[in-house]
A and B are shown apart, each in its own frame.
Chain A
Amino acid sequence: MSAQPSPGPKSMRTPLSRVRYLGSSHSGTKDFWRQRLTAVAMILLIVPMILIVTMMLGRNQAGAAQILGSPLIAILMLMFIAASIWHMKIGMQVVIEDYVHDEKLKLVSIMANNFFSVAVALAAAYAIFKLSSGV
């Protein structure tokens, strides 16, 4: 990324002086922190999640819908969906930033990642809400 045009050979300014004080938006560690935050959330939620999936085994749609629509399980599912989708969105962005070096392709990939993550999160949440309202 070259935000500033190069002032050319006549300039006496060093590269450092040209970037100094243009910098930090003070959010550099935001994704790093949220990745850990959502990881710990999922570790706390993994046992309830395993139990919920175990309860689903061998049940038909009516049974599964009844379990997934009960308040405690629906809330636990929503918490896990929020934590996991946020976590995976950040994870995929890190991978894109590491391996996609073409600037435009990188921006398109990051957009696609955001769209995919939001779509998956909303679809999953919609299903839980629908089951909870018993429609």
Chain B
Amino acid sequence: MTARIERPLSPHLQTYRWTLTMALSIVHRATGMALYFGTLLMVWWLIAASSGPAAYGVVQSFTASWIGRLIAFGYTWALMHHMLSGVRHLVWDLGYGFKPAEREWLTWAALIGGILLTVLLWIAAYAIGGGR
């Protein structure tokens, strides 16, 4: 009896026909990873707010810059998408939505909903904050 048994491996990604649910599964992970490192920005903002006007001014000049705004927009989308995509997973956890049409519908809803929520939030943010 050898210590290591050669077991059959399951086929990897390239073997399968590309599907929507598969792509969105990867996007769910990718947005999760992005949000993980994005918490550094949240902490920077909170620490700056507790440190004083000078530190907070640096955060504000960053969020007002085009790169800062792009990152904030990307962060909003990652959060909204990951949330809706996660709700889809909760639906599946409860045992619903596994039929082909249902799972396609759920996945499209998460994808479109995430983009829609992000755009709506940014429209609201510009309307309220005047672009700050």
In the complex, are the beta carbons of A92 and B56 less than 8 A apart?
no
In the complex, are the beta carbons of A92 and B132 less than 8 A apart?
no
A86 to chain B, nearest CB (A): 12
By DSSP majority rule, is chain A's interface helix, strand, loop, or mixed?
Answer: helix
The residue from B3, B32, B42 contacting A124, defined by CB atoms under 8 A apart:
B42
Q: Does A100 contact B (CB under 8 A)?
A: no
In the complex, are the beta carbons of B36 and A123 less than 8 A apart?
no
What is the CA–CA distance of A127 and B53 in the complex, to the nearest angstrom?
Answer: 14
Chain A count of residues within 8 A CB distance of the other chain: 36
What is the CA–CA distance of A104 and B29 in the complex, to the nearest angstrom?
Answer: 23
In the complex, are the beta carbons of A120 and B50 less than 8 A apart?
no
Give 13 new A-B contacts, CB below 8 A, not counting A2-B3, A36-B93, A120-B40.
A6-B3, A15-B5, A43-B87, A46-B83, A54-B124, A57-B128, A62-B53, A68-B49, A88-B39, A126-B47, A127-B49, A131-B46, A131-B50
Residues on A lying within 8 angstroms of B by beta carbon are 2, 6, 8-9, 11, 15, 36, 39-40, 42-43, 46, 50, 54, 57-58, 60-62, 64-65, 68, 84-85, 88, 91-92, 95, 120, 123-124, 126-128, 130-131
